[in-house]
Amino acid sequence: MRTRLGIGALVALSATSAATRTTPGHASSGGAGLTGTVTPLAGGATRVASGGAAVNGIDPTHRRPTKLPPPPSRSDRGGWISGFTITEYWPAPERWFVGSLVATPGLRTRHRVDWLYSANGVSMEGAGIGLDSRVYHIDALGSGGWLTVGGAPTSSSDGWAAGAPYWRAGGYWRNRSGAVTFPLAAGGWSAGSGLGYVPLPGVRFAPGAGLALRFLRSVAVDPGVIPLGSRVYIPAYRHDGFGGWFLAQDTGGAIDGRHLDVYRSPPPSPASGGRYLRDQRVYVIRPRGS
């Protein structure tokens, strides 16, 4: 099982709690304003390039259809549902991160430690595009959950009552006070010298991506409210270039009840939290037989 946590970057946690996403594979990473396609490379990895169609689960193209699909009509076999909260999530570019390159379980390449294990990185978003422009994803979560910046366990099961998630429960160093620290690519440490490394047993990364998600076309849902495979119309995205229609393709631990998480390209910087909309009405066309 592959898990993607999060609603956009950690910045978005101030607006809504992170989501533990258990999926059969997830495509999630990229660069700011990413456009183009993902093409296969040796060893099963992929590279983002310009033009073309999706490969290995990521379709970062923003080509508008020549004619936008119309809003729902009375002839459509769906219905409106009110009271939704809408958030956004996106890929995590390795270039946004500052940690040292470390050995990566499951890969032959080394990557920035905070890109791998922090709440802003691949562990949170499920996959990412590395400094080498290749796509990678987390293939096995390993043991343990999440820690706060101070090193205390925290969980989405109680709304992160102990504090916002900062790091996986391994893949980091403890400083003198027991808080999380890690070596920086520029030298030194993020929060004081590391006095002991804490491994994360069982974690594994892999080349490529998982779910064939598309920017501004895919949405994460609570399947108990909106079945996977449903077509979802969000009026607030009517002018996004695709008519506001999405396909319910993903799930998340914190995507609970009337909550939708829109998959989009990364914003210009990690400080951007993405759109956060409350009390939205959406139109849902369920797949036949559901």
User: 15 falls in which pLDDT band (50, 70, 90)?
Assistant: very low
User: Does 26 map to a domain?
Assistant: yes
CA gap 144, 160 in Å, rounded:
15
Within a domain: residue 137?
yes
Query: Is residue 232 within 8 Å of residue 282, measured between CB atoms?
Result: yes
> Residue 93 and residue 141: Cα distance in Å, rounded?
19
Polymer length of the chain: 290
Report the relative pairing of strands 92-93 and 101-103 from DSSP bridges. Answer: unpaired
DSSP-assigned beta bridge partners for residue 49: 37
Within-domain flag for 199: yes
Q: Is residue 152 assigned to a domain?
A: yes
Write out pLDDT tens, residues 69-83. Answer: 888 988 889 999 999
214 domain-assigned? yes
Q: Are the C-beta atoms of residues 169 and 146 closer than 8 Å to each other?
A: yes
With residue 122 as reference, give the H or E element that holds it: helix 122-125
If one counts the domains in the chain, the total is: 1
pLDDT at position 63: 59
Token digits of residue 83: 């009271």
Within a domain: residue 269? yes
Which of the residue ranges 51-60, 63-72, 273-282 has the most confident prediction, judged by mean pLDDT? 273-282
> Residue 88's domain spans which residues?
2-285
Tell me, what's the pLDDT at 20?
35
Q: Establish if 290 belongs to a structural domain.
A: no
pLDDT digits (tens, 9 = 90+) for 268-278: 887 887 899 99
pTM score:
0.70
